[in-house]
Structure 1
Amino acid sequence: MDTDDTGSRRTDGGSVFGNGRPVAAEAARAARLRGEFLDFIDHAHPRMIRLLMLHGVGRQDAEDAAQEAVLQAWREVLAGRWESIVSPLAWLRRVTWSVHLRPPDRKRVQPLIALGVELPETPAAGPGHAELTDQIVTVLAALSALPVLPRAVMALTLDGATDSEIADLLDTTTQKVRDLRKQGRTGLRHLIPHPGSAKEDAR
C-alpha cells in the first residue's frame, strides 16, 4: 500500500493527515460538529439574551454579550475543545454572564478563525419589547425593581441554572442563593398583581 513522504498510510487515494486520519473522515467530523454546534446555538442563543434581559440588561447590550459568548464557543469548537465540555449550556451561560460583567473598556475577544472556516451566523435574536406579551413585560418590570442580587438569582433560576452554578457565578454559597431566591420571590409576589386581584378590585 502506498505511503506519503512522512510514511503515513494512504487510505483515501493519497490525501492523509500526518496522524493517518483520512481527509474525508476529518471533513465529515468537522461538518458534524458544525451542524451540532449550530443546532445548539439556535436554541441557546435566544436563551442567553433572555437571561440578561431578565437581569435588567438592555436588549442591545444583551444581544452583544450573547453574540460574544457564541464567538467564544465557536473558538472552542475550532480549537477542538468543545466536545470535552460536559455541559455546553452551563458553559455558555457562564461566559455570557462574564462578558456582561466585564468592564466596558475591556477589548472583546476575537474568534480564532481557521483558514477556510466560515464563522456560523447566530440566529435571529427574537421578538423585541413591542412583540413581547403583556405578561412577560410585567415580569421584566417586576424583576428590574428587585435588588441586584435577588434579581440575578431569579434570572438565573428562570434560565434553569442550578444552585451550585448560581453560587459559582455570584461568588457566594448555595445557602445564600436559596436565601436570595426566597427574597426575590417575596418581592415578586408584591410587585406582580395576582390574576384575580383586578376582578376583586372592580367589585
Structure 2
Amino acid sequence: MAGLSNPISLFRTAAQSAPGVEAVSSQDTAALQAEVLALFDDLRDRLLRYSLSFGIARHDAEDVLQECFLALFRHLQAGRSRENLSGWAFRTTHNLSLKRRASVHAEYRAAVPEETAQIQVCDDGPGPEEHVLFSERQERLRAVVRALPETDQMCLRLRADGMRYREIAGTLGISLGSVAASLARSFERLQRMDAR
C-alpha cells in the first residue's frame, strides 16, 4: 500500500470477499463506502499524526491508516456498533501502530549492527546559538515525555491532538479519572521543566 490514498478500491475488495458477512446490496455498500470515506477525510490527518507519534516511518503510518479504515469498513459491513466511530478509529490506529512499531523494531535490530544504530545525524538549524537553545529545550522536553509512563504519554499525545478527556478514555480503555490524573501529572512535570 504505497502512499495514503483514498481507500475506495480496498472497500470494493472487502465488500466482495468479507468472510462471515452476508451479501450486502450494492446500494448499502455504496452508503457504507461514503460513510467511511467521510470519516477518512475527517480523521486522516489526525490519525496519521497519532500513528507517527509512535516513532514509525511515514509509509508505515500510512499503511496503518489504510488497515484501520479497511477494518472500519468491515466493522460496519458486519453490522457492528456505530457508537463513537472516531474513538474506534483512534483505538484501532493505536493498536495497529503498536504492532507496526514492534515489527519494525524487530526487523531493524536484526538488520542493523549496534554500532551503526548509535550514529546521530546533525540538524541544520537557523543559527548556532538559536539551534543550541532550541535543541536543549526540545531534548529536555523529550526527556520529560520519555520519562512518563506509556499511558501518560498516550494521553498527552491524544490531548495535544484535540481529543476530549472522554474520547481519550475510550480510545485507551481507561477511566475518565485516570485520564484526568494522567494529564495533570504530565502537565505538572512539563511546567516544572519549563520553569528551569
TM-score (norm 2): 0.53
* Secondary structure, counterpart of 1:85 in structure 2: coil
Residue number in structure 1 paired with 2:48: 49
The answer as to 2:125 corresponding to 1:99 is no
1:70 is matched with: 69
Taking the aligned partners of 1:101 and 1:167, their CA distance within structure 2 comes to 18
Which one-letter code corresponds to 1:42 in the other structure?
Answer: D
String of CA shifts for 1:31-57, please: whole Å, max 9, x gaps. Answer: 233222212111212211112334555
CA shift, 1:181, in A, is 0.5
Partner of 1:86: 83
Deviation digits for residues 37-81 of structure 1 (CA, Å, limit 9, x no counterpart): 212111212211112334555434433322221121122244344
**Counterpart residue number, 1:182:** 184
Q: What residue in structure 2 maps to residue 34 of structure 1?
A: 33
Cα deviation for residue 157 of structure 1 reads 1.7
Pairwise CA distance, 1:184:
1.8
Q: Where does residue 59 of structure 1 map in the other structure? A: 58
Q: Which has the larger radius of gyration?
A: 1
8 Å contact from structure 1 (residues 55, 155) kept in 2 = no
Residues 37, 168 of structure 1: alpha-carbon distance in 2 compared, 3 angstrom cutoff: closer
Deviation at 1:92, TM superposition (A): 0.6
Q: CA deviation at 1:170?
A: 4.1
> Which secondary structure does the structure 2 equivalent of 1:102 belong to?
helix
Kindly indicate whether structure 1 or structure 2 has the higher relative contact order, using CA contacts under 8 Å at least 6 residues apart: 2
Equivalent residue in structure 2 for 1:157, among 153, 156, 159: 159
| CA distance in 1: counterparts of 2:87 and 2:174, whole angstroms | 17
**What amino acid maps onto 2:36 in structure 1?**
F
Shift of the 51–176 alpha-carbon distance from structure 1 to 2, 3 Å rule, reads same
The answer to whether the Cα contact below 8 Å between 1:45 and 1:70 also exists between their aligned partners in 2 is: no
- Measure how far apart 1:96 and its partner are: 0.8
Higher helix share: 2
Matched-pair contact (CA < 8 Å) for 2:90–2:171: no
Structure 1 runs of 4+ with >6 Å offset: none
Structure 2 distance, partners of 1:38, 1:177, is 30
Sequence identity of aligned pairs in percent? 26
Paired residues of 2:88 and 2:171 also in contact (CA < 8 A)? no
Q: CA deviation at 1:154?
A: 0.9
**Is the 1:143–1:188 contact (alpha carbons within 8 Å) kept by the matching residues of 2?**
no
Alignment gaps of 5+ in structure 2: 1-24, 104-134
Distance 1:143 1:47 in 2: 21
State the superposition RMSD in angstroms.
3.5
| Letter matched to residue 42 of structure 2 | H
Shift of 1:162: 4.0
- CA 1:144 to 1:47, structure 2 compared with 1: closer, same or farther past 3 Å? farther
> What SS is found at the alignment partner of 1:43?
helix
Say how many residue pairs are matched: 135
